[in-house]
Every structure is written in C-alpha cells, then in structure tokens.
Amino acid sequence: MRSEELYDFSDPEIEMSLKKAKLLCARLQTMTPYDADFRAVIEELIPGIPASANICPPFNCDHGHGIRLGEGVFMNYGCTVLDGGYVTIGRHTLIGPNCQLYTPSHPKDYVLRRETKETAYPITIGEDCWLGGGVIVCPGVKIGDRVIVAAGSVVTRDIPSDVLIAGNPAVIKKHL
C-alpha cells in the first residue's frame, strides 16, 4: 500500500487496519479535545502524534498509522486524511476546517476500477504552512515550507516554499 504500487484494498490486513481506524474515528466524533480520554484515543489512532499537535473532531482517516505530524500541528474541525500513502505534515502547520488530504488513486482503465485495487501516493506538507478551510490536496503532492493555501483551493501539483497559492487548480499568486 505504501509502495506506490497497485494494491488490493480488500486484503484482510488492510481491512483490519481500516476497521480499527473507523472505530476510533467514530469514538472521536462524540468527543472534544477536553474529554479525559480524548488524547488516548487520538494517540491510538495516530501513533507517535506529538503532545503539542492538536486535532479537533470530527476527524476521519483511513488508517491513522500513515499520518506523521510535526510539533505544533493544528488540524481544525472536519478534516479527512486518506492515508493509504504516508501523509507528513511539518512542524507548526495549520490545517483549516474541512480540509481533505487524499493519497489514493484509482486506475484510469474503467475495467480495472471495478476491482478492489488502487495505488496511493504520499503527501508532504512543509513546516509553518497554513491551509485555509476546505483545501483539497491530491495524491503525491509536495508542498514546501511557509506556504499559504487559500481557502477552497485544490492542490494538484508540487508547490515550492514561500508562496501563496489559490484556485482550482491552485497556482502561485504571490511570492512571500
């Protein structure tokens, strides 16, 4: 799954991982970061999450163990992370409400799409970035450090450091 090669998402090991994450995400939907057991649930879902990283539920992901967060990362309400491929978010990055980070990609051939197979390409978001509300990041995208992504943008390709981007597809609007 993390090899960027075609895999079968109906594989029993992958199905167990999906089930575990869905059960933990369902528990999070009725919690706040102030609940006594919130931190234990989020740490079970996302192993190695730094103590300084915060995620506001509702939050959904495919596996959880494919999410790597830096110190001080903040994810606002309603984010979705499809982490068949690794999703790495650098230190002090802010993710606005309802952002969606997608690593899976289905085959282009319609006959192959009927099967339970897909690929996944990692997403990397640099340090000190800010993704406004409703941003979508597509499979395989790398976003540099200190990037601002305007609300509602769709990031379809790699973005260098120190820029403001906006649009669908997102393009550089300003160098910072």
> Is the preceding omega at residue 47 within 30 degrees of 0, hence cis?
no
**CA distance between the termini of the chain:** 36
Instruction: Read off the pTM.
Output: 0.96
pLDDT of residue 91: 98
Query: Distance of CA 169 to CAs 34, 47, 135, 153, Å?
Result: 37, 32, 11, 7
Instruction: Note if 175 is an active site residue.
Output: no
* Residue ranges, the chain, pLDDT below 70: none
Q: What is the β-pairing status of strands 154-155 and 136-137?
A: parallel
In angstroms, the Cα distances linking 74 to 96, 127, 169, 171 are 8, 12, 24, 24
Choose the catalytic residue: 63, 65, 92, 106: 106
Instruction: Return the pLDDT at 138.
Output: 98
Cα distance between residue 17 and residue 84, in whole Å: 10
pLDDT tens for each residue of 94-103: 999 999 999 9
